């Protein structure tokens, strides 16, 4: 039996600059079950970023209800929201959002610092997670000593280290070339399959959405399509078929 980790019920988001109301979301109803890999797709201005901010407890709906793991997010205090963000949600961003003068392992430690995890445990978990995403031997590297794909792997390790209920990825391949994009999607698919992670990818790219099991399309603040993807693309297979890059 499917268990929803996310339930949005008639959610709206209205911004009011002066007298002009701007409706970013108009009555969104959405359920995402634990273990799904879902793409939320839309053009710029469609409302997908606003939706992601609400899903990530970074913003509140103007009306409607948001249940996260059966908890009513709309009734939470700021401290409770911060706790949910830290412990239950892992974020991956297009721009990586790494601290530039901090080595990879310390960047991965950040969510654990906020969670109050003892330092020796933090370091051990950060090193293990960097190895898990293919960065063993690069733990001491600063972000500017890493490629774009390696920086995104650090960001993925940081998102995973607190063992969240859900991963929210906002245009995770937007700053990457084609090969590196496929590598990142192969990693996300692998983590989804091996760990049963719930992954929500916000994107405007059909090619990236095609790697997911379900497509939710949004336009003008409304869901206009919600369907399964019959045969998701397999990034690992595509990666194996690419020509080998020479050093």
Quote the mean pLDDT of the chain: 92
What does the pLDDT look like over 170-190, one tens digit per residue?
999 988 999 999 999 999 999
pLDDT in tens, 186-212: 999 999 998 889 999 999 999 999 999
Predicted local confidence at residue 14, as pLDDT: 94
Among 220, 197, 215, smallest CA distance to 205 is for 215
CA distance 146 to 57: 30
Q: Are 208 and 229 in contact (CB under 8 A)?
A: no
**Percentage of the chain lying above the pLDDT 70 cut:** 97
The backbone region for 106, taken as left when phi is positive above 0, alpha when psi lies in -120 to 50, beta otherwise, is: alpha
The answer to whether residues 145 and 49 touch, using CB atoms and an 8 Å cutoff, is no
**Radius of gyration of the CA atoms of the chain, in A:** 18
**Is 161:106 a contact under the CB 8 Å cutoff?**
no
Q: Tens of pLDDT along 218-229?
A: 999 999 999 999
Burial of residue 4, with CB atoms counted within 10 A of its CB: 0-12 exposed, 13-18 middle, 19 or more buried: middle
């Amino acid at each position: 039996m499917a268990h929803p980790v996310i339930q949005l019920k008639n959610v709206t988001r209205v911004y009011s600059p002066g007298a002009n109301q701007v409706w970013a979301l108009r009555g969104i109803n959405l359920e995402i079950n634990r273990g799904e890999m879902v793409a939320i797709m839309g053009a710029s201005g469609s409302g997908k970023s606003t939706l992601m901010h609400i899903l990530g407890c970074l913003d509140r709906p103007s009306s409607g209800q948001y249940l996260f793991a059966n908890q009513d997010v709309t009734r939470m205090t700021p401290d409770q929201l911060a706790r949910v963000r830290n412990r239950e949600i892992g974020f991956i961003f297009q721009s990586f959002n790494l601290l530039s003068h901090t080595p990879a392992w310390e960047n991965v430690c950040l969510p654990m610092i906020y969670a109050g995890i003892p330092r020796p445990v933090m370091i051990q978990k950060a090193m293990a997670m960097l190895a898990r995403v293919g960065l063993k031997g690069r733990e001491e590297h600063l972000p500017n000593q890493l490629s774009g794909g390696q920086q995104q792997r650090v960001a993925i390790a940081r998102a995973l280290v607190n063992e969240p209920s859900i991963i929210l990825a906002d245009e995770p391949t937007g700053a990457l070339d084609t090969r590196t994009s496929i590598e990142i999607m192969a990693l996300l698919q692998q983590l989804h399959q091996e760990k049963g992670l719930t992954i929500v990818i916000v994107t405007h790219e059909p090619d990236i959405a095609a790697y997911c099991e379900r497509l939710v399309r949004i336009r003008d603040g409304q869901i206009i399509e919600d369907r399964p993807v019959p045969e998701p693309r397999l990034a690992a297979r595509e990666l194996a078929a690419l020509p080998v890059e020479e050093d």
